[in-house]
Homo-oligomer: A and B are copies of this chain.
Amino acid sequence: MLRTHNLGELNLENINENVTLSGWVQKSRDLGGMTFIDLRDRYGITQLVFNLETNSDLCLQARKLGREFVIQVSGRVIERSSKNKNIFTGEIEIEVNKLIILNPSKTPPFTIETNSDGGDELKMKYRYLDIRREPIKENLILRHKVSACTREYLNQEGFIEVETPYLIKSTPEGARDFIVPSRMNSQQFYALPQSPQTFKQLLMVAGMDKYYQIVKCFRDEDLRSDRQPEFTQIDCEMSFIEQEDILNTFEGLTRHILKKIKDVNIDKFPRMTYDTAMELYGSDKPDIRFEMKFVDLTNDCKGNDFIVFDKAEFIVGINVKEGSKFSRKEIDKLVDYVKSPQVGSSGLIYCKFNDDGTSKSSVDKFFDEKSRKKWAEQALCEKGDLLLIMSGEKEKTRKAMSALRLHMAELLNLRNPEEFAPLWVIDFPLLEWNEEANRYNAMHHPFTSPKKEDITKLENDPAAVRANAYDLVLNGNEIGGGSIRIHDKKLQKLMLKHLGFTDEQAQNQFGFLTEAFEYGAPPHGGVAFGFDRLCAILGGSESIRDFIAFPKNNSGRDIMIDSPSSIDRAQLDELNIKLK
C-alpha cells in the first residue's frame, strides 16, 4: 500500500505515530513560516504541515503543489494548535518529513468543492472530477449502501438473486426497445430488456419461489429531464402468495432501508385505493407529508350565475392553511402558474378568510359572504386560511389542482426532504384508454390479474375492472409498483384479446410465456422498485442524475466518453446492416 492510513481515520489516539498518507491536494495555505495542505481522499481530509524553518527544501517543494496533485507523504502525527472539531481528523496534523509527487494535475475546469463553480455540461464532461466532490461522492456511497441493505433484507427473507439475460427479444411492452443486431444470426436482432418481467415470471414457473435482482433496464424513450435510457430496478417476484403478502414483504424491505439508511422508524404504512387517491389528491402518487386535501365544491358552487362554475363538470378546492397572508401580487403569480403550459388550466379562484372573520374572494360579485361561509365549512377553512378553487373537466381539473397543491407546498416549505411518508396505493384500474390507438392499454402490464369479482365486467365495462395492482409511493414519488400476475393460460389469453392482440401477435410475442403457463405455473406476483429514484429520495433530492455514476444527458449522450458515435463501415458490413 502507498499509505499506512486513509485520510479519515487519524485522531488524537495516533499522536506521535509515524504514518504514510496518499491523496489529493485539496488546498494549500502559507501562513508565515508554515505551509498547510489539506490532503483529501474518499474517507476524509487530513491536514499536513510543512515548516519553512526546520525543513525549508521540503516546504518550498510543498508550496509548488497545485490543486488536485496526487502526493504521498510520510511524517509524524502531532496535535494541532487550532483544532477543527467538525471533522474526525480535526485535532491532529501531520508534520511531514517526506514528500513524493505521485502524479501532477492540470488545474481542474471547476473547483472540487461542495459548492462548485462548474455548469452542468462541464461537470458531465469531467464527471470523474465531479465525483471527487463531496455531495456526488456521498450519493454514490449512499447508493451502494441502499443496494447492500436491500440485498441484506431480501437474502434474509429467502430470496434468490438470479441474473436474467440482457440480450432478449423485442416485445412492445410499452416503450420502445433498444435493439442489438446479431452477427451470427444475420438480419435478426436482440432487444435490451425494458424489465425482466417475463423472465421473472418464468422463474416462478421454474419453482424458484422467491426471486430478486438489482438490474439495469433500458427504454428508448424521448428523455424528459429526469429520465435515463438505462436505469436500475430492484426486481422481485414471489410464488404462492396473495397481494397482502407482497405488500407486507416489501413494506418490510422499505422499512429496513429507511431504518438502516436514514435511521427513520416507520410503523405500518398507510394504504389508499386509487380512487381515493384521485379524489383526495388528484394523483395516484400523493405526497402525504402535508394535508391540503381536495374538497369537492361542485354542488356548493353552482347556481350563482357564475358561468365558469355553472358549466363546469367539476369544481374543487384546497385549503391553504394560514394562506390569507398571501398578497394580491403573490396570488396573481399563482394564477400565472396554473395558466402556464405545464399546468394548462384556464384560471384560479381564491377566497381569503381574514383574521377579522370577514372573507374576500375573486368572485365576490357572484358569491356573497354567506356563500363563502359555506365554502369555509366545506373546506374546514378557519381565520387566516386561503381557499383556492379550480373548475372544469374533471380529470384535467384534478391534475391541475394536484400540481397547484404541490406548488403551494413548495412555496410554504411543507415538503421536508428529511421526512419520509410512504403510502401504498392499491386497487388500480386494470386498463386505461388509449386515445390514439382507440383501444384499452394495460395500465400496469398485460400480465396483471384483474380482481376476481371484476372479471365479469371485462366484456361490458372494462374501465371499471380493478386490478390486483399496487404502487408504493414515497414523498409523492412512485418508488415501486407491481401486481399479482395471471397464472392461468385462459385468463391470460382473454386479457391479451382485450388489449387488442391478435392470436398471432400474442403467440409471436408471448407464446413462450403462455406455453410455460401450461406446465404448472404457480400463483405469483411481484414488484419492481425504481432504484435510481429511491436513492435520490433517500438522498433528499428530486433528481436521479446525481445518483448515477455516469449518467447520460437529455439527448441520451454520454458527454464524457462522447457516445453514441459513428461506427466503422466494416463493422456494419459484418452485421449486414447499413445506414439509410
State the A residues within 8 Å of B (CB): 1-3, 6, 22, 24, 40-43, 68-70, 72, 102-106, 108, 126-132, 137, 140-141, 143-144, 147-148, 151, 155, 160-170, 176-185, 187-192, 198-199, 202-203, 205-210, 216, 218, 220, 222-223, 229-230, 232, 240-242, 245, 487-488, 512, 516-523, 548-550, 552, 555-558, 560-567, 571, 573-580
Q: A140-B160, A144-B160 are in contact. Are A523 and B2 (CB under 8 A)?
A: yes
Residues of B within 8 A of A176 (CB): 183, 571, 574
The 9 closest A-B pairs by CB, nearest first: A105-B520, A131-B206, A169-B563, A188-B564, A182-B564, A2-B240, A128-B206, A42-B209, A68-B520
Which of B128, B206, B242 sits near A132, CB closer than 8 Å?
B206
Question: What chain B residues lie within 8 Å of A167 (beta carbons)?
Answer: 178, 218, 229-230, 552, 556, 558, 563-564
Q: How far is the CB of A215 from chain B (nearest CB, A)?
A: 9
Residue picked from A164, A184, A187, most chain B C-beta under 10 Å: A184
Complex Cα gap A26–B169 (Å): 32
Asked whether, in the complex, the Cβ of A128 is within 8 Å of the Cβ of B578, the reply is no
Q: How far is the CA of A409 from the CA of B161 in the complex (A)?
A: 36
Distance in angstroms from A380 CB to nearest chain B CB is: 42
Q: How far is the CA of A199 from the CA of B131 in the complex (A)?
A: 12
Q: Is there an interface contact between A163 and B232, defined as CB atoms closer than 8 Å?
A: yes
Asked whether B220 lies within 8 Å of A183 as measured between CB atoms, the reply is yes
From residue A240, how far is it (CB to closest CB) to chain B in Å? 4
CA gap between A91 and B351 in the complex, in Å: 76
A102 closest partner in B (C-beta) = B523
Select one of B108, B144, B185, B207 contacting A557, CB under 8 A. B185
A190 with B550: CB separation less than 8 A: no
Contact B577 A165 (CB under 8 A): no
* Known contacts A68-B520, A164-B550: A131-B207 contact under CB 8 Å: yes
Residue in B closest to A487 when the chains form the complex, CB atoms: B103
Q: How far is the CA of A557 from the CA of B168 in the complex (A)?
A: 9
For residue A169, which residues in chain B have a CB less than 8 angstroms away from its CB? 558, 561-565
Given contacts A106-B518, A520-B69, A564-B188, contact A163 B548 (CB under 8 A): yes
Q: Are B129 and A182 in contact (CB under 8 A)?
A: no
The residues of B that contact A571 with a CB separation of less than 8 Å are 170, 176-177, 179
A549 cross-chain contacts in B, Cβ below 8 A: 162-165, 199, 203
Q: Tell me whether A522 and B131 are in contact in the complex, defined as CB-CB below 8 angstroms, given that A1-B242, A207-B24 are known contacts.
A: no
In the bound complex, residues from chain B placing their C-beta under 8 Å from that of A190 are: 178, 563-564
Which chain B residue has the least Cβ–Cβ distance from A170?
B567
Chain B hits for A144, CB < 8 A: 160-162
